[in-house]
Amino acid sequence: MENAFGPLPATRIAALEHLQRFVPKAGRDYARLRNYDLGPGGHAHVSMLSPYLRHRLVTEEEVLRSVLARHTAAGAEKFIQEVFWRSYWKGWLEMRPEVWADYQAGLHAAINRTKSESGLRQCWSDACHGQTGLTAFDHWAQELMQTGYLHNHARLWFASIWIFTLKLPWELGADFFLRHLLDGDPASNTLGWRWVAGLQTKGKTYLARPDNIAQFTERRFQPSGLATHAPALSGPDHPPRRPLPGPSTWPKDKRTGLLLHEDDLSPGFLFDAGLSPVSVAGLQTSAHRSPLAVSDLVQGFTRDALNDAAQRWQSRSGNNGGVHDTVTTLVTWARSNTLRQIVTPYAPTGPAAEGLNDLEEALHQHDITLIRPMRDYDSRAWPHATHGFFRFKEKIPQLLAAMGL
């Protein structure tokens, strides 16, 4: 993926360099210009850090520290809030995982409909190939497929046109994003689409307006033929919140393996808590972001990111057992290293957590335990995702103070 700063390789070094180049712009420039989508190669007013943050090649805490070393909290308020949107969505979904299960069920139902409804199938295919005849929409579909990235404003416009102009099932659009976004993430994506559709903040929808698109694309696009109303979709009430897991620890005298996965490639907090593994391996689950084929760009970025992390932590982990995409080969890794336990960063609701559940069951038969400690950043932030972001954001000063910021 290229941006105004150059290519984005899936390595920690690239993530840190990219962060350093963006930091000077994270203050008032970001607040003033972040809504402008100037197209591929022109996304200089936003950070494009999301592929790195989504996989935690760089953590939210590191990004916040770098930004606050250069700007005041007031000066970088907008950027800091955006970083906390990610934490808010993750916490919200983690307390209501049924919303992810409902999305998956809705997606399967919509895919089934495309098998018998030829009009729907054609419209879906045109939208996914950027062949609807709506110039701006078609451009974004192709930008997404070619680069793995879309500006936030384009994501909003695209989702709105998908739902209210093309009248396609929202789950098919969310799935299109998850198959192509390098930052494709169960929480931010599902809840972002639900928000546009009026399912997340009940009754509040997002309507893509031609004048707004023209203004914030600097007249690259002046669309016509868009829906003029965005009636909220109907859906069930939010499920009740489930409690978040408490702190977890592990016996220090057992042979231990470190397992990395796509939701958290910064396991330093585990070493700080005394982790001393004899081997490190990676679990790749990006193919399970969708029941359909996930793009080569996404698969390649995730694999490179996992390999980079495994190589980085190898010197503190005995040996490098490689990156695996099946439970069977991971069990072989565990057994050949005579592991008694495997420690892995907590994975929030989504494909990595589902993969870890399967692994846990398979390991159980060999008397090997899987332990998933949560990092302090998540355990402090997530419990505040009880209501809307407005209430959550009041906790930001307290969350920053807890990090010493």
Binding-site residue positions for FAD: 30, 79, 183-185
Q: What's the farthest any 2 CA atoms get from each other in the chain?
A: 67
CB 262 → ligand FAD: shortest distance, Å?
Answer: 12
Residue 25 C-beta: closest distance to ligand FAD, Å: 9
Residue corresponding to tokens 């332990």 = 371
Least distance between ligand FAD and beta carbon 182 (Å) = 9
Structure tokens at 394: 């009041």
- The minimum distance between CB 338 and ligand FAD, in angstroms, equals 38
Cα separation, 186 vs 203, in Å, equals 22
Closer by beta carbon to ligand FAD, 92 or else 333: 92
Shortest distance, CB of residue 387 to ligand FAD, whole angstroms?
17
For ligand FAD, the closer CB: 202 or 366? 202
* Distance of alpha carbon 105 from alpha carbon 98, whole angstroms: 10
Residues annotated within the binding site are 30, 79, 183-185
d(CA 191, CA 186): 8
d(CA 357, CA 341): 15
Provide the token pair at 262. Answer: 């796509």
Helices (H) and strands (E) in the chain, counts: 19, 7
Q: Which is nearer to ligand FAD, 47 or 341 (CB)?
A: 47
d(CA 66, CA 16): 10
Closest approach of Cβ 183 to ligand FAD, in Å?
4
Q: How far is the CB of 230 from ligand FAD (least distance, A)?
A: 14
| Cβ-based nearer residue to ligand FAD, 15 or 258 | 15
Q: Which is nearer to ligand FAD, 156 or 297 (CB)?
A: 156
The set of residues, in sequence order, having a beta carbon less than 8 Å from that of 253 and lying 6+ positions away, is none
Closest-approach residue to ligand FAD (CB): 192
Cβ–Cβ < 8 Å for 349, 371: no
Do the bridges between strand 6-7 and strand 2-3 make them parallel or antiparallel, or are there none, so unpaired? antiparallel
Which is nearer to ligand FAD, 79 or 333 (by Cβ)?
A: 79
| 3-class DSSP state of 215 | helix
Shortest distance in whole angstroms from residue 280 CB to ligand FAD:
26
**Strand partners for 283:** 261, 324
* Residue 126 or 263 having the CB closest to ligand FAD: 263
CA angle (46 as vertex; 204, 155 as ends), nearest 5: 35
Where does this chain bind ligand FAD (CB under 6 A)?
34, 46-50, 53-54, 82-83, 85-86, 89, 152, 155-156, 159, 177, 181, 183-185, 188-189, 192-193, 196
- Which of 247, 211, 241, 248 is CA-nearest to residue 226? 211
319-324/279-283 β-pairing: parallel
Residue whose entry in the numeric block shows the structure tokens 């999305």 = 103
3-class state of residue 259 by DSSP: strand
- Considering beta carbons, is residue 148 or 321 the nearer one to ligand FAD? 148
